[in-house]
Structure 1
Amino acid sequence: MLQIMTPASLGKLFSTRDGETKLGQQVQLLGNFEVETDNLKSSLAEAKSRGAQFVVLGISEDAGPRANLGRGGSTTAFSAAMSQFLNLQSNRYLHGKECIVLGNIEPMQLDESATTEQLRQATADLDEQVIAVVAQILAAELEPIVIGGGHNNAYGLLMAVKSQYNQAAAAVNLDPHSDFRPREGRHSGNGFSYAAANGALDYYHVLGLHELKNSEATLEQLSLFGGHWHSFQQIWVRREITLAEALKQIAKQVNQTHLPVALEIDVDAIAKMPSSASTFAGVPLLDACYYINYIAKHCNTAYLHIAEAAPQCHEAGEMAGNRDVGQSVSELIYAYIQAKKPAQY
């Protein structure tokens, strides 16, 4: 169910200070808090007329990662991110009115006793909610910035793009895993393979794919689809190609498809980021920001999806996880906005 952000809820996420204006004081909310999912378009269009370009949407779930036999904890990424992002300054670089903080999709949570089959059914049910909400955002000609939940939600986002534009998408994904696992029931490891099978994904490039974190069967399936990748080892270990060179190649290939571009990042690609599959051998946060900024600037991106952040998985506890996830995701969000709406210095 979509929980629309209210002024009261928003006010709990940031603090004011004399002589300063925070983003939380400037972002837009929908006026009708009882708006139904199927009637979002008109409310969003009204906000667009007031200068909105981006719609920040949370997804509070961890059924997808758990259905993939991973750790939970990705239910609080949105609130952690907003607690940091909304406390940033409103100034000449970003006013805030460009962003609608729409709210949060909150499916029914399953406890630890849930079976794999129940988790996969819950993930499939969530797909339909994601498609319904994101399709309305795209129909209003706004750009979704989707935060939280597992990478399973890439499927719903890609299906929403297909629904709105009547064509498949080209996806670029910074991720050590291709998430192109067999279609064995919905989970966080097969969002892209399901999207491909359902005609929502026509071109797919994985940046930072870890050479030993993808099964041979998955790599073979990705190859048969015609998928492309630069491995983590190629760029950050063996230094066979620079990140800048890889991004230039990706943008050129993606633009030749003339398809809307899905910009994806699984934060478990980032070193020491709290997530279902966190790693010490990962991409620096600043490189992840550069990736988002470059692709958003040079390609026709339809949305940004920041998946898998899990504050509860931080080694120092959830409070530290909220801080690290919040700061990191805020930088990723701004990297996207900066590319799509250059600041007026």
Structure 2
Amino acid sequence: MLTSFHATDLQSLLNCRTGETKLGQQFQLLSLEGDQDGDISVALAHAATQGVKFAIIGISEDIGPRANLGRAGSHDAFTASISQLANLQSNRFFSGKQCMIVGQITLGQVVDANADTATLRQATAELDDQVIAVLTQVFAAGLEPIVIGGGHNNAYGLLTAAKQTFNQPMAAVNLDPHSDFRPREGRHSGNGFSYAAANGSLDHYHILGLHELKNSEATLEQLSLFGASWHSFQQIWVHREISLDQALKDICRELNNTGLPVGLELDVDAIAKMPSSASTFAGVPLLDACHYVYRVAKQCDCAYLHLAEAAPQCHEAGVTAGYRDVGQGISELIYSYIQGRMSKLG
């Protein structure tokens, strides 16, 4: 189900000063007035006529990572991110009027903290349907979703919704130490892309920063059989066999050669010390992640940005520090995407 984000919710997050305008004061909010059975298509279409380009959507869940035997906590990334993003300045560089906060997608039922794996995987499959139902309407309205939070299981719903709307499969690029192309053993955060490939939603897949020892041989074999490609974390950031700049040139050329719309994916556990369901000490610098998002957004035909797995409560210094670091990191990634897209689209 979709829970709307009200003006009072936004106002409670804002820290306003005289003489300043914050992004949150310029963001549009989705009006669910007249909403029938989850139909938000009219409201989204109206927003597009008012100059909205980007639809910011949260997914409040951690059942996907838990179904993958990972840590909980990815349910809270949206709130942490909006609280930081909304308090950035609205100015000549970006006004914020191009953005709408749509709300948060939730399963609509509580899954017990001690639920077994089979229950979690069934719930993840049910969540897929919720994600697809909302995102098909966003894509159909001509808006670009910026999706925050939840596990990387939600890549499946995004890719499937895009394929259903655009009537063609998607290409995807993913900054992630894990390929999330594991066997289709029941839905979880580790197999969103393999399920999307199986249902015809994913046609081309590249992983940037794949860690050579965090993917099983069976998964690597599946990737090879599918025709996926990757630049490993070791190649770029350890061995320095290829520069990040050259890797991004190669990636953007490949994506553009497909002629397909692009899903821009980022698992925040790729970023060093970012609180996530699978936090890493040896990871990619945040600035490199921002550059990746900006370059692909600027040079490719992106349909959406998906920022998955951020988990504020997993910060080693506590939840308050987790909210701060997740909020600041996600905000920088979102602005990088918006800058890239606005540069490409004029």
Cα distance between partner residues in 2 of 1:13 and 1:101: 13
Alignment check: 8 A CA contact 1:37 1:132 kept:
no
* Cα shift readout 1:169-224 (whole Å, capped 9, x = no counterpart): 00000000000000000000000000000000000000000000000000001100
Say whether the 8 Å CA contact 1:61–1:109 is kept in structure 2.
no
Asked if residue 130 in structure 1 is aligned to residue 131 in structure 2, the reply is yes
**3-state DSSP class of the match of 1:233?**
helix
Tell me whether 1:217 sits opposite 2:218 in the alignment: yes
Q: Distance in 2 between matches of 1:298 and 1:144?
A: 18
- 2:156 corresponds to: 155
Which residue of 1 is the match for residue 189 of structure 2? 188
List aligned pairs for 1:266-305, cutoff 5 A. 266-305=267-306
SS of match in other structure, 1:303: strand
Instruction: Give the C-alpha shift of residue 117 in structure 1.
Output: 0.5
Give secondary structure in 1 for the equivalent of 2:307. strand
Indicate the residue corresponding to 1:26 in structure 2.
26
Separation of aligned partners in 1, 2:37 and 2:192: 23
Counterpart of 1:178?
179
- The answer to whether the 8 Å contact 2:236/2:244 transfers is yes
1:66-105 counterparts in 2 under 5 A? Answer: 66-105=66-105
Deviation of 1:298 after TM superposition, in Å, equals 0.4
d(CA) in 1 for partners of 2:36, 2:324: 33
Cα distance between partner residues in 1 of 2:75 and 2:94:
28
Deviation string 1:1-45 (CA, Å, 9 cap, x unpaired) is 100111111111222111100011000012335624642121111
Secondary structure of 1:55 counterpart: strand
Structure 2 residue matching 1:341: 3-state secondary structure: helix
CA contact (8 A) 1:147 1:307 kept: yes
8 Å CA contact 1:6, 1:33 repeated in 2: no
- 1:50 and 2:50 aligned: yes
In the other structure, the counterpart of 1:59 is: 59
| Cα gap change, 1:306 to 1:220, in 2 (>3 Å) | same
In structure 2, the partner of 1:39 is: 39
Structure 1 residue 55 displacement after superposition: 0.1
Q: Tell me if structure 2 keeps the 8 A contact 1:5–1:101.
A: yes
Task: Output the CA distance in 2 between the equivalents of 1:268 and 1:5.
Answer: 27
Aligned to 2:29, what secondary structure does the other structure show?
coil
State the distance in 2 between where 1:279 and 1:36 align.
43
| C-alpha separation in 2, matches of 1:34 and 1:212 | 51
Contact 2:106 2:127 survives alignment (8 Å): no
Q: Is the 8 A contact 1:38 1:136 kept in 2?
A: no
Q: Structure 2: which 5+ residue stretches go unaligned?
A: none
Deviations 1:258-283 (A, max 9, x none): 00100000000000000111011000
> Counterpart of 1:5?
5
Asked if residue 311 in structure 1 is aligned to residue 312 in structure 2, the reply is yes
> More deviation in 103-112 or 232-241?
103-112
SS in 2 for 1:206: strand
CA distance in 1, matches of 2:276, 2:327: 13
Secondary structure in structure 1 of the residue aligned to 2:28: coil
Q: 1:335 to 1:36 in 2, by over 3 A?
A: farther
Letter aligned with residue 288 of structure 1: A
* Structure-2 change in CA distance of 1:37 and 1:223 (3 Å): farther
- For 1:33 and 1:212, the matched residues in 2 are separated by 50
Amino acid of the structure 1 residue aligned with 2:27:
V
Partner secondary structure for residue 112 of structure 1 = coil
Secondary structure of the residue aligned to 1:203 is strand
> Which residue pairs with 2:332 in the alignment?
331
Write the letter of the residue equivalent to 1:174: L
Between the two proteins, the alignment pairs up a number of residues equal to 343
- Percent identity over the alignment? 66
Residue 263 of structure 1 is matched in structure 2 by: 264
| CA distance 1:338–1:202, shift in 2 (3 Å) | same
Normalised by the length of structure 2, the TM-score is: 0.97
**Aligned-partner Cα distance in 2 for 1:36–1:67:** 32
- CA–CA distance in structure 1, aligned partners of residues 27 and 36 of structure 2: 21
> Which residue type is aligned with residue 136 of structure 1?
Q
Cα distance in 1, alignment partners of residues 50 and 92 from structure 2: 18
- State how far apart, in whole Å, the 2-side matches of 1:248 and 1:178 are: 20
User: 2:232 and 2:28 mapped to 1: Cα distance?
Assistant: 39
Distance 2:191 2:113 in 1: 22
Which aligned pairs between 1:198-277 and structure 2 lie closer than 5 A?
198-277=199-278
Query: Contact 2:2–2:38 at 8 Å: present in 1 too?
Result: no
Give 3-state SS (helix, strand or coil) of 1:179's partner: coil
Distance in 2 between residues matched to 1:328 and 1:244, nearest whole Å: 21
In 2, the alpha carbon distance for the partners of 1:14 and 1:58 equals: 18
Structure 2 counterpart of 1:74, which letter?
S
